[in-house]
């Protein structure tokens, strides 16, 4: 070993900004644990009072008449589609969405027809929907990507009405988001929510059907419980499944629903820092929330002006600056997924371009201002 001394102290490793984090406050964990103790003691472990309370409060939150709790967002979509009787028909679905949106259409016995992306909202444009209609189209599933409700949602509703189709919302990203005072879940005949742990609120696993349609609500209750005509009868009248939500999941969901406004406010605070800080960036655009819209910031989406090697860029941000970016929405459009290639009926160039060029910045409840500033500094160095 040389006796040579140097003044250079190694640079401190950057503090880490995770891509996402789940927040359950200590008092909320205690509240949940107490009620789980209660249901374990009583044995009332499914379809009980907590599920019913979760449904009632969730319906009220969305501004609809009914909510039906189920075990995932995927099952809530499939149940809605089954209740609408899609078997043998076509259902228009954005190509820029999660696997489950189109998979639910297939599981319900219909054919998904994939629609290109609106660069402004990452959802679908009425023109593209109209161009994709087929003689067998029964309805349209819209997805509020990243928690943004498109400003064109009214035009999509109008198009559906004019063509005699239904509109269903896959609102898995959009708990608490709204446009012109209407909450996600209340725009179509029914809305589907997911409470998967990455979402803005969670029940561990779970999903919810929101609807003001009495018949769909009634059908959903039948479908989720093995197609039984009612809880007390054993006549199976529909091809249902075990899609029930357990009481422990409902208890977790109830508490997170109560925290939802505060958790969204936290995310909005971080988004406001990004909005301000990103204004001076020349190499990327922010996906903007439209006037009249409220976003829950499930994702904070930016679009690179030029395509870059996203994997390498994410690795640099993580390894050199301690910043982990969140998962994309989506990395690839559905028609690039091997299982859905066969549903491609037209070129969908916008989705391919925007899927490849966007990034999702970290945003979560409990994230600190200093974290957001670190993200901005890192982006400035890596993207400029």
Ligand X SMILES: Cc1ncc(COP(=O)(O)O)c(C=O)c1O
Sites of contact with ligand X (CB under 6 A): 72-74, 97-98, 100-101, 143, 170, 172-173, 194, 196, 207
| Rounded (5°) CA angle 87-231-107 | 20
Of 58 and 321, which has the nearer Cβ to ligand X? 58
Of 205 and 219, which has the nearer Cβ to ligand X? 205
Residue 194 beta carbon to ligand X: minimum distance, rounded to whole angstroms: 3
Q: Minimal CB distance to ligand X: which residue?
A: 73
Whether the CB-CB separation of 160 and 193 falls below 8 Å is answered with no
Residue 198 beta carbon to ligand X: minimum distance, rounded to whole angstroms: 7
Of 74 and 95, which has the nearer Cβ to ligand X? 74
Residue 195 beta carbon to ligand X: minimum distance, rounded to whole angstroms: 6
What is the distance between the alpha carbons of residues 62 and 240, in angstroms, rounded to a whole number? 26
What is the distance between the alpha carbons of residues 111 and 188, in angstroms, rounded to a whole number? 20
Residue 61 beta carbon to ligand X: minimum distance, rounded to whole angstroms: 18
DSSP secondary structure code for residue 151 in this structure: T
Of 143 and 271, which has the nearer Cβ to ligand X? 143
Q: State both tokens at 338.
A: 């091997």
Residue 361 beta carbon to ligand X: minimum distance, rounded to whole angstroms: 18
46 burial via Cβ count (<10 Å: 0-12, 13-18, 19+): middle
Give Cβ neighbours of residue 357 (< 8 Å, ≥ 6 apart): 303, 304, 305, 306, 307
Q: What is the largest CA-CA distance in the chain?
A: 87
Q: In what order do the strands lie in the sheet with 66-70?
A: 66-70, 207-211, 190-194, 166-170, 137-143, 90-94, 111-115
Residue 333 beta carbon to ligand X: minimum distance, rounded to whole angstroms: 13
- With H, G, I as helix, E, B as strand and everything else as coil, classify residue 268: helix
Give the total residue count for the chain: 384
Residue 83 beta carbon to ligand X: minimum distance, rounded to whole angstroms: 17
Residue 193 beta carbon to ligand X: minimum distance, rounded to whole angstroms: 8
Of 51 and 207, which has the nearer Cβ to ligand X? 207
Whether the CB-CB separation of 290 and 274 falls below 8 Å is answered with no
Q: Distance between alpha carbon 258 and the CA centroid of its chain, in Å?
A: 19
Return phi, psi of residue 228, to 5°.
-80, 135
Give Cβ neighbours of residue 31 (< 8 Å, ≥ 6 apart): 255
Give Cβ neighbours of residue 186 (< 8 Å, ≥ 6 apart): 62, 63, 64, 210, 212
Of 150 and 374, which has the nearer Cβ to ligand X? 150
Looking only at the bridges linking them, the beta strands covering 137-143 and 90-94 are parallel
Residue 48 beta carbon to ligand X: minimum distance, rounded to whole angstroms: 21
Of 210 and 372, which has the nearer Cβ to ligand X? 210
Of 74 and 365, which has the nearer Cβ to ligand X? 74
What is the distance between the alpha carbons of residues 62 and 181, in angstroms, rounded to a whole number? 11
| Rounded (5°) CA angle 109-112-113 | 145
Of 152 and 249, which has the nearer Cβ to ligand X? 249
Of 121 and 374, which has the nearer Cβ to ligand X? 121
Residue 93 beta carbon to ligand X: minimum distance, rounded to whole angstroms: 10
């Amino acid at each position: 070993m040389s006796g040579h001394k140097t003044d250079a102290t190694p640079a401190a490793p950057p503090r880490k900004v995770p891509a996402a984090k789940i927040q359950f406050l200590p008092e909320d964990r205690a509240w949940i644990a107490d009620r789980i103790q209660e249901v374990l003691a009583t044995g009332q472990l499914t379809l009980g009072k907590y599920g019913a309370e979760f449904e009632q409060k969730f319906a009220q939150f969305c501004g609809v008449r009914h909510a039906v709790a189920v075990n995932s967002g995927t099952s809530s979509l499939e149940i809605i589609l089954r209740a609408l009787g899609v078997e043998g028909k076509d259902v228009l679905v954005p190509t820029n969405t999660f696997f489950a949106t189109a998979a639910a259409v297939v599981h319900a016995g219909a054919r998904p027809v994939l629609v290109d992306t609106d660069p402004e909202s990452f959802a679908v444009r009425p023109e593209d929907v109209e161009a994709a209609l087929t003689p067998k189209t029964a309805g349209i599933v819209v997805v509020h990507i990243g928690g943004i409700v498109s400003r064109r949602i009214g035009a999509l509703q109008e198009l559906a009405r004019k063509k005699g189709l239904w509109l269903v919302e896959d609102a898995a990203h959009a708990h608490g988001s709204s446009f012109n005072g209407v909450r996600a879940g209340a725009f179509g005949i029914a809305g589907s929510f997911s409470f998967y742990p990455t979402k803005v609120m969670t029940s561990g696993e779970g999903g919810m059907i929101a609807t003001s349609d009495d018949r769909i609500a009634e059908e959903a209750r039948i479908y989720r419980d093995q197609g039984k005509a009612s809880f007390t009868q054993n006549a199976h009248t529909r091809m249902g499944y075990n899609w029930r939500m357990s009481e422990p999941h409902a208890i977790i969901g109830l508490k997170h629903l109560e925290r939802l406004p505060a958790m969204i406010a936290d995310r909005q605070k971080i988004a406001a820092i990004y909005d301000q800080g990103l204004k001076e960036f020349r190499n990327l655009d922010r996906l903007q929330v439209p006037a009249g819209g409220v976003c829950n910031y499930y994702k904070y989406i930016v679009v690179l002006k030029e395509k870059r090697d996203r994997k390498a860029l994410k690795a640099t941000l993580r390894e050199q600056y301690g910043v982990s970016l969140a998962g994309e929405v989506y990395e690839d459009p559905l028609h690039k997924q091997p299982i859905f290639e066969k549903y491609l009926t037209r070129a969908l160039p916008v989705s391919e371009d925007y899927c490849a060029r966007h990034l999702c910045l970290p945003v979560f409840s409990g994230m600190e201002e200093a974290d957001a500033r670190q993200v901005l500094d890192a982006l400035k160095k890596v993207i400029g």
